[in-house]
Structure 1
Amino acid sequence: MVKILLKSVREYKWMSLLSPLLVTIEVMLETYIPFIMGNIIDYGITPGNLGYISSWGMVLVGLAVVSLIVGAGASWFSSHAAAGFAQNLRHDEFAQVQKFSFANIEHFSTASVVTRLTTDITNVQQAYQISIRIAFRAPLMFIFSMIMSFRVSQQMALIFAIVVPILAVVLYLIIHTAYPLFSHVFRRYDILNRVVNENLRGIRVIKTFDRQEEEINKFKDASNGIFTIFSKAQRLMSLNAPVMTFMINTTMLIVSWVGAQMIVGKSLETGQLVALFSYTMSILFSLMMLSNIITMLSVSQASANRIAAVLQEKPSIVDPAKPVTTVKDGSVTFDHVSMTYLHAEHPSVADVSLQIKPGEFVGIIGATGSGKSTLVQLIPRLYDVTKGTVLVGDVDVRNYALRPLRDAVAMVLQNNTLFSGTIYENLRWGDPNATDAEVEKAAQMAQADSFVQEMPKKYDTYIEQGGSNVSGGQNQRLTIARALLKKPKILILDDSTSAVDTETEGKIMTALRTELPDMTKIMISQRITSIAQADQIIVMDDGQINGVGTHEELLKSNAIYRELNNSQQKDVQDTIKEGGDSNAPDAGNK
């Protein structure tokens, strides 16, 4: 795990090495200063030797200044190295997530990935800064102080040899008890992030159903879960301070009593006792510092493991060793294809075989959960088949490099996303180098140009996050235009005209047929009127193909299709009788 994370240090390696080097110099100087002070007391102040006091006093000041400089340098290098390491780690983790397939993302969950990119990396950053500075300082301070205390008085130093193991055992027991709680708390953060994410994404639904109070309670429960575990862990860790205070006071009393006896017995000088007091504080505080370091590292270890899990995760969909880089045409073949989602008991698509010719207009219809979306997501390898083969341009999609395959396939989802930026910027996701004329041409085919021209800034109109300042139908038309700018060989419309009225939808399909005859068009729809003119219609039922044919053929031969058609015709007639409009209107401008 450590090796995986340290790969992100990169250009900050030299800063990471300089910091502990400077810390070593700083600690050596700090532990030598009390020894000099003791000598000044014994050989300068006590006998009244001003020359000794002046000369060694200047040395003492010089050592203090150098110690301050190297300490400040160690702090500067460690903070910059830690910040740079966190920056690289965040970049590496985000880049890794971009390589993930849908299955990989589902393995971690969106909320968990967000926690790992934020809270977890912040914890690791703090731990790294501690590791290259304080984690070096504390043990070095302990070792050098012990060495110097033995140099001053071996008899007095034995006190530390008795006290230190007792304190170390107590601190170990406290940390060992608290560590599992810190590991558990991050799973609670995942739950909290999931609640916040769902709330923000569904805020309109929440307000529509007036469920604010319930959502607040849900958030409170998630937050209380973190509080309960974290407070329990902190209560355990708070025992560090009183235990340390007790041990310091006890040790100081023992050193004072024994030291006084030794001074009376002429086996210890006053300056040496003063130096020992300083080393007592250094030894015990270095132990307390070590306990705090271990606590912080224990907390960060849980975070580090979670980050490493993302970095180690192998994307389930990758380029082959010798990839095909050119898609010949828009033909699609499903050859005994089955696909089962992660942790699912039954396949979503089972033994599907289908042939689609280049330039064909294919409609797919079926009940919710019948496998329609799963089937088309296999074409650009958003998921891989569990069994069978999907061919595009007579080549297995697993033999293509992902980029040319996905460049050749444009997919528009029902709930597609517009990003913050102008309409021009959003549409140019399809082709960053598209001219204004090409953008507007694509918008005209998608029947988006008419409402864009009515906006004050036209194509320079700013789209808010998630496309919240355009209607559902306008959003869908803009995302269709964005897909058309890719100039794909295969266009997949996954229920992506559900918010568009039937008249506008008809214009879109007419434009696609007349202006892009060579493009294969696959349209999933719940409305038979949307796909009635398709070259072939596929009826899906429970993950399998129930029927294939034209509209007229399926009306005669397929019971499911015929039932859907009769039901929708009845709904239209009922609407007309009630004085309604059979065309479902677009939501219009907001």
Structure 2
Amino acid sequence: MIIFKRLKQFYWPDKAYLFGAILFLILASGITIVYPIVLQLTIDQAIIHKHVQLIPYLSIGFILIMTVKGLASYLSQYWGDMFGVSAVYRLRQALYKKLQYLPYHYYDNAKTGDLMSRLTADVEGFRFFLSVGLTQLFNFAVLVGFSLVVMFYYSLELALITLAMIPFLCIAVYRFDKRVHPAFRKIRLSLAGMNTRVQENISGMSTVKSLARENFEIDRFAETNDTYEKRNLATAGIWAKYFPLMELIGDISVVILLALGGYFVMNGQLAPGELVAFFSLVWYIMDPLMNLGFIINTFSQSKASGERLLQVLDEKEDIQSPEHALEPKRLEGHVVFRDVSLVYPNEEKPALKHLSFDVRPGEVIGLMGSTGAGKSSITQLISRFYDATEGEILIDDHSVRAYDLTALRKNIGFVLQENFLFSSTIRDNIAYGRPDATMDEIISAAKRAEADEFIRKMSDGYDTVLGERGMGLSGGQKQRISIARALLINPAILILDDATSAVDMQTEGRIQKAFRQLMKGRTTFIIAHRISSLQMADEILVLEKGRIKERGTHEQLIRMDGIYRHVYDIQYKDRELIQSGMASGRGESL
């Protein structure tokens, strides 16, 4: 019950629905007990003692009572559903909110399919117990309690025998729960793994098809699906073992009660109608006890689901705004790194080692280096996606940890190497960071990003609805919409992570021209592999294994004859060879 205690905050505010459902459940269960009593009166009084005049009254009374029971059952079920639905609405909202504020590094290892499974299948599993299983549990307790009271009234001996049989059923149910709960936990894990496999396959379908790996993916999914099937079959085996056992215990009880009850009737200790009523009450106990397996089943599933939900809710939000955070509307953009080192969570080797540099407001800094050199790590520290392991990062003479996270990040514009566009209109995608932006501002940002022309040629212009992840747009078009989105928020600090990598040389030239105007008065970090994207920088930092190996302007680095000069020679010699080849081709054609 620890899991349910920890999740109490989500369902206890709706306790009025639960209490209402229980109240009408008690009423419905109490009325159910009336049926055997009416049956006993009909047999003993109306039939055996020939009091025929009682039959119309018993019939009308029975109909009225059953009508009340039907209404009470409806209200009990409806309010039970309201209790479960309202509770998981609050739970789902809390989970989604938690996912928004979890630190950046959480998503480094998180699997999308697994998270989707938690927010859907696991939440639904928890809801089903609150809506159905919990009320069924109360129904079991109330019905068994009421039945035993009437059974003791009819026959003390038979009631005691019935009570003696109940512990055997309870032991079987307990052992069933001990085995079925781990089985359901494994099923939940398998379902999450299967969802992850499907999600990754659909997202990477272009790669699958381009490499003709369809059969490999089919086999890989079959392996995951096979594990899910085996775990379901193992759980079904537990059901198949314990339910016949519980039924056997119930049947043995009925045979014993029938033999002893018949003996009491023959000796006059029990009237025939009382025996019939008693056996009806026996099934009112046996059926709920048999149904207890279903209740245990839903309870076990909800426990397994609750464990997985708490794993998300318990994740630490280790990067948060301080208690008295600075909330500037506009930063100047003075960025200072003082002996900064960074080791990512669950990693041993540092990504950055003792970096120090000072970027004045409005300066443009180029970051260059091979994959894993630390370029993106620098920009992620500025936005506090991660916190430095050692050293200090200052923005406008204050530590980045002193700022409110929202205020800090609203002053930083990102254009990433991998652009994400939402399944919404182009206008909404550009205005995502500033939903209050006017249409004129959106168009202006699109023009500066060289996107306005191709947007207007689309079917609905700025109101064109994009497919998932910008499906239908070329890589360069998606890149330019992302650039427009960054321009619209008018950030004090601009970070361009290979922002022109997906556009052709001609478009890159137009975007670079727009950037030169945009960068005036704005601190800019440019991550690029193309020398042409870095030439405008006031200073270029060449990184290698987390350290600054070279620094200076484009002209200074060319003269150093180091890493930068080597890359420059490769890129520009390749360009010269291409140009000479094209010229040679034209000469031959002439």
> Considering the TM-score relative to the shorter chain, is it more than 0.5?
yes
- Which moves more between the two structures, 336-345 or 533-542? 336-345
> What's the counterpart of residue 570 of structure 2?
567
> What's the counterpart of residue 481 of structure 1?
484
Cα distance in 2 between the residues matched to 1:76 and 1:558 = 78
Instruction: Tell me the secondary structure at the aligned position of residue 579 of structure 1.
Output: helix
Distance 1:209 1:38, change over 3 A: same
Cα distance in 2 between the residues matched to 1:167 and 1:521 = 72
Within the candidate set 375, 388, 392, 1:389 is matched to 392
Within the candidate set 188, 191, 200, 1:189 is matched to 191
Cα distance in 1 between the residues matched to 2:442 and 2:238 = 62
Within the candidate set 533, 536, 551, 1:533 is matched to 536
Deviation at 1:452, TM superposition (A): 2.2
1:42 aligns to 2:44 (yes or no):
yes
> What's the counterpart of residue 323 of structure 1?
325
> What's the counterpart of residue 358 of structure 2?
355
Cα distance in 2 between the residues matched to 1:156 and 1:57 = 29
> What's the counterpart of residue 272 of structure 2?
270
Cα distance in 2 between the residues matched to 1:118 and 1:558 = 58
Cα distance in 2 between the residues matched to 1:430 and 1:505 = 24
> What's the counterpart of residue 587 of structure 1?
none
Cα deviation, 1:504-563, whole Å, max 9, x if unaligned, reads 223323322224411111110011121022100011111121121111212233622122
Cα deviation, 1:163-211, whole Å, max 9, x if unaligned, reads 2222222232233222211112222222212211211111111111111
> What's the counterpart of residue 243 of structure 2?
241
Distance 1:272 1:371, change over 3 A: same
> What's the counterpart of residue 585 of structure 1?
none
Cα distance in 2 between the residues matched to 1:501 and 1:270 = 95
> What's the counterpart of residue 256 of structure 2?
254
1:517 aligns to 2:520 (yes or no):
yes
Letter in 2 for 1:179: H
> What's the counterpart of residue 433 of structure 1?
436
Within the candidate set 287, 290, 311, 1:309 is matched to 311
Gaps of 5+ in 1: 582-590
Letter in 1 for 2:441: E
Distance 1:426 1:10, change over 3 A: farther
Cα distance in 1 between the residues matched to 2:408 and 2:419 = 20
- Which moves more between the two structures, 453-462 or 13-22? 453-462
Runs of 4+ in structure 1 displaced over 6 angstroms? none
Cα distance in 2 between the residues matched to 1:426 and 1:580 = 43
Cα distance in 1 between the residues matched to 2:109 and 2:467 = 30
> What's the counterpart of residue 348 of structure 2?
345
Cα distance in 1 between the residues matched to 2:415 and 2:519 = 17
> What's the counterpart of residue 27 of structure 2?
25
Please give the TM-score of this superposition, normalised by the length of structure 1.
Answer: 0.94
> What's the counterpart of residue 588 of structure 1?
none
- Which moves more between the two structures, 404-413 or 461-470? 461-470
1:462 aligns to 2:459 (yes or no):
no
Instruction: Tell me the secondary structure at the aligned position of residue 10 of structure 2.
Output: coil
Deviation at 1:485, TM superposition (A): 0.1
Cα deviation, 1:358-409, whole Å, max 9, x if unaligned, reads 1111110100011111110111112222222222222211111111111100
Q: Is the 8 A contact 2:143 2:285 kept in 1?
A: yes
Cα distance in 1 between the residues matched to 2:12 and 2:297 = 27
Please give the TM-score of this superposition, normalised by the length of structure 2.
Answer: 0.94
Provide the aligned C-alpha RMSD in A: 1.9
Gaps of 5+ in 2: 585-590
Letter in 2 for 1:87: Y
Cα distance in 1 between the residues matched to 2:421 and 2:149 = 66
% identical aligned pairs: 31
Deviation at 1:490, TM superposition (A): 0.7
Q: Is the 8 A contact 1:547 1:558 kept in 2?
A: no
Aligned length: 581
Letter in 1 for 2:511: I
Correspondences of 1:3-18 after superposition (within 5 Å): 3-9=5-11, 12-18=14-20
Cα deviation, 1:254-300, whole Å, max 9, x if unaligned, reads 22211111111111110111011111111111111122111211121
Cα distance in 1 between the residues matched to 2:237 and 2:304 = 19
Instruction: Tell me the secondary structure at the aligned position of residue 102 of structure 1.
Output: coil
Deviation at 1:44, TM superposition (A): 3.0
Cα deviation, 1:32-68, whole Å, max 9, x if unaligned, reads 3313422332233211113444444443333222111
> What's the counterpart of residue 588 of structure 2?
none
Within the candidate set 95, 98, 113, 1:96 is matched to 98
Letter in 2 for 1:235: G
Correspondences of 1:411-450 after superposition (within 5 Å): 411-450=414-453
Within the candidate set 367, 377, 380, 2:370 is matched to 367
Cα distance in 2 between the residues matched to 1:459 and 1:75 = 49
Instruction: Tell me the secondary structure at the aligned position of residue 259 of structure 2.
Output: helix
> What's the counterpart of residue 289 of structure 2?
287
Cα deviation, 1:450-492, whole Å, max 9, x if unaligned, reads 3223334332333222111111011111100110000100110
Within the candidate set 554, 559, 574, 1:556 is matched to 559
Letter in 1 for 2:130: Y
Cα distance in 2 between the residues matched to 1:256 and 1:186 = 44
Letter in 1 for 2:66: A
- Which moves more between the two structures, 6-15 or 296-305? 6-15
Instruction: Tell me the secondary structure at the aligned position of residue 80 of structure 2.
Output: helix
1:83 aligns to 2:85 (yes or no):
yes
